[in-house]
Amino acid sequence: MATRVYIVDDSALMRQTLTHLLRGDAEFEVVGSAPNPLLAAPAIAKCRPDVLLLDIEMPGMDGLTFLRQQMEREPIPTVICSTLTTDGSRMALDALAAGAVAVVAKPRLGLKQFLEDSRRELCQTLRSAAGATARRAPRPTAAAATTATAVKAAAANPLASVPAMNQPVLIGSSTGGTQAVEAILMALPADAPGIAVVQHMPEKFTAMYAERLDRACAMQVREARDGDRLERGLVLIAPGGRHLQLCKAGGQYFAVVLDGPPVNRHKPSVDVLFRSAVDCAGKDALALILTGMGDDGARGMAALRERGARTLAQDEASCVVFGMPKEAIARGGVDAVLPLKEMAAAILAFDRR
């Protein structure tokens, strides 16, 4: 049965181009489109599509407000289309936090050619989104942000005794991963072991994502820069459009941020990070593969496990998309499969060993 898609975008050209693109693939059926959420809401309630393709910046009601309302009414897997403006990127991140499963970045110019060139990626994203588990986002509490700020202030005490960090934690995630990574980090103390994260995300989104996490978590979180030292209490997020590797010098771990072709169609790639840790960390590393479509990270995780690293995969029930963990398990790269809520405790247990 074809995946039923509903398109909400204020650009007539965008709606027309997307409709033409998807109708050229027998796996998809465009069941309707609308220029704004006010016209879309009753149609969506009537036709009940498998997935929404939603613009963010629209007159009348923006896509973010509509998404939050739709998730309260009836959660539907939603893919966000957003231009790479500062406001568009920030709202797209808000949309991911509100329950959207993926973001497709669209340019301001050359839209038709861009969509034609990106047909395969867009179709794969929609296909995976249709099979994803749409969930209402948990309501954030002011207490959580206040606690994170207080913990950071206490951790800044130069007299505090912080043990050396010699066991790096690596996390790879994709669809649904922005929320999954946040859930893990929010459960960790300020002196948790250093963490390097690859989250599939377009360029210009990752810096804002890191800032968002930094405000919410007790650990320090920032976008990785070449030469950053991975140390206790620090989370480094791979920058969009670049690869992140680890290297070791003088008994310490450092970030290597580099250019290069996409790996497994992704840049940053989870496999690039995981493979870099095989030689420099080996048995001292802990690797987590979380929710996401495709197989990025599966080969690197298998190589890490062969070298003696501890490897964990998120279980299907707590994943938005069980693609990446499933592939890692199939390749024999996983020591244990855990629900998302147990990942933070597993990190701390590994650190105490």
Annotated active-site residue 200? The verdict is: yes
For tokens 């809520």, the residue is 341
In terms of C-beta density within 10 A (0-12 exposed, 13-18 middle, 19 or more buried), how is residue 125 classed?
buried
Q: Which of 213, 267, 203, 257 is nearest to 235 (CA)?
A: 213
Active-site residue, from 200, 269, 295, 318: 200
Half-sphere CA count of 45, side-chain side, radius 13 A: 10
SS3 27: coil
Q: Which of 104, 89, 12, 11 is nearest to 51 (CA)?
A: 104
Annotated active-site residue 266? The verdict is: no
Buried b (16+ CB within 10 A) or exposed e, 309-335: bbbbbbbeebbbbbbbbbbbbebebbe
Active-site residue, from 9, 55, 296, 318: 296
The DSSP annotation for 186-204 comes to: HTS-TTPPPEEEEE---TT
Active-site residue, from 173, 174, 276, 318: 174
Judge contact between 154 and 185, C-beta under 8 A: no
Annotated active-site residue 335? The verdict is: no
- Active-site residue set: 174, 200, 296
